Amino acid sequence: MPHTDHLLLFLFPFLLLAGFLLYAAGSRHAYRSRPETEPGDPAAFDWHFFVPCRDEEAVVGATVARLRADFPYAHVWVVDDASDDRTGAIVAALAEDDVRLHLVSRVRPEARTGKGAALNAAYRELGGLLGPGADRERVVVCVVDADGRLDPAAPFLVSGPQGFGHPDTGGVQVSVRMRNVDDPRPLPDRGRAANALARLLVRVQDMEFAVSNAGMQLLRARTGSVGLGGNGQFTRLSALDRIAEAERRPWREAALLEDYELGLHMILTGHRISHVADTWVSQEGLPHARRLLTQRTRWAQGNLQCVRYAPRILSSRHYTGSGVLETLYTFGQPLAHLFSLVLSAVLLAVVALNGFTGALAWWPLALGLAVLSVVPFLLWGPVYRRDFAPDASRARALLWGVALWLYAYHLFPVSARAFVRILRGRTGWSKTRRNADPVTAGPVALDH
């Protein structure tokens, strides 16, 4: 039998696995038992869409046209964050004949300081348009990415009793889908093998958001800790005002996850956030692994930045006990991934020093870890097939579940990269290039 001194080395991954399995089971149960969303009356609210942009000439015209066609009663505010391309000119031309389309132009040195700063600029412009006599309780702001497409039914569902029909609701997050999930050639200049891998990468991103993340958000709805995302984020203007009174502005301008941090502030100021899974916003899935890793490194670093909220959350009367546990668990994910990497290196060193023969005694534990880690992902495959890909075979659904499991391992290198960025003092916000931009057009992300 292996030496008992090594037992502690194996205890930590089992503790991590136990937490993951509990969270995964809760997410799956919340997804399967979710109630049907009751619609409300969009006419009870005044709708404003914020579209932050930097160098988005490839997509902004179509996005604005779709928003104005699908939501003719709403105002659209496009924030041009000192773009080097024709983003501002395209929007300005469209706004000439449309009183509900507004261009917010930002210039250096104030511009290019992050998405939060761009959204705050739109917030100030909206306040100027409304004036002091407006009923800001009935004004709803929705953030849509420059490539985002919002379900035309979304205002009906977020207006209902699960959303802004409830007087305590300050924010609503809708589900996110990958629009290019059925694109047969996401990499038109590459061969069959590269396109097959790119299609699978987009597919697992769609699975991640459509079922796995949706289940997580529905679990958070029960713990009172729903997170806001950067696309399809709805907020009540009066809730933004209350955060601005406490924090000087609604969106934190030095944050890599300004969307999630806005949700933390919203709960800390006493507002309710809900997740509506029956409507959606779509965006481009990333078929390029490098661009995906760059994007997720920023998300992991933003998660690490959120650890500073832990004392406030622990002492807040607006967080339930389960909400505190769920939020701290979310904060700790990049650290857990980093510790797991370190532990794996230590275990390999122990095996090398003690010989592989002794390590073989641990194979039942290793096999148990492997099985338990893959099963939660595997189970999402049939669920995804049932709800979003009914034409796929059962075998393909199971293979998608395995792919989702393998895809989840990207969290380990991105957590390590995020930690290295923190050590190097690199905290700038990066915009991932669009799929329409060729790989040779420059870096995979543009630093602000």
Query: Which of 235, 47, 218, 10 lies closest to 130, judged by CA?
Result: 47
Report the C-alpha gap between 323 and 318 in whole angstroms: 9
The pLDDT value given to residue 281: 97
- Residue 199: pLDDT band (50, 70, 90) is very high
Task: Find the DSSP H helices in 355-448.
Answer: 356-359, 363-388, 394-407, 411-423
The pLDDT value given to residue 19: 87
Pairing of strands 445-447, 149-150: unpaired
Q: What SS3 class is residue 272?
A: strand
Name the percent of the chain lying above pLDDT 90.
75
Pairing of strands 46-53, 75-81: parallel
Q: Is 131 left (phi over 0), alpha (psi -120 to 50) or beta?
A: left
405 vs 197, 374, 381, 382, CA distance in Å? 15, 6, 10, 14
Q: What SS3 class is residue 334?
A: helix
* Cβ burial, residue 371 (10 Å; 0-12/13-18/19+): exposed
Query: Which of 151, 338, 351 lies closest to 231, judged by CA?
Result: 151
Pairing of strands 169-178, 272-283: parallel
- Choose the weakest-confidence range: 16-20, 174-178, 235-239, 367-371: 367-371
The pLDDT value given to residue 18: 85
Q: Specify whether the CB–CB gap between 434 and 416 falls below 8 A.
A: no
* Cβ burial, residue 314 (10 Å; 0-12/13-18/19+): exposed
**Mean pLDDT computed over every residue of the chain:** 89
pLDDT higher than 80, residue 358? no
Query: Which of 259, 46, 16, 225 lies closest to 145, judged by CA?
Result: 259
Write b or e for each residue in 386-409: b if 16 or more Cβ atoms lie within 10 A of its Cβ, otherwise e.
eeebeebeeeebeebbebbbebbe
Ordered DSSP codes for 181-250:
TT-S-SSTTS-HHHHHHHHHHHHHHHHIIIIIIHHHHHHHHHHT-PPP-SSSEEEEHHHHHHHHHHHSSS
- Residue 444: pLDDT band (50, 70, 90) is very low
* Cβ burial, residue 8 (10 Å; 0-12/13-18/19+): exposed
Mean pLDDT of 19-40: 94
- Choose the weakest-confidence range: 52-66, 236-250, 348-362: 348-362
More confident residue, 340 or 59: 59
Q: What SS3 class is residue 347?
A: helix
CB-side exposure of 48: number of CA atoms within 13 Å?
Answer: 26
pLDDT higher than 70, residue 357? no
Q: Running DSSP on this structure, what letter comes out for residue 440?
A: G
Cα-Cα end-to-end distance for the chain = 55
The pLDDT value given to residue 443: 46
- Choose the weakest-confidence range: 45-49, 81-85, 269-273, 399-403: 81-85
- Residue 402: pLDDT band (50, 70, 90) is very high
Q: What SS3 class is residue 26?
A: helix
The pLDDT tens digits of the residues spanning 98-153 come to: 999 999 999 988 878 889 999 999 999 999 999 888 999 999 999 999 999 999 99
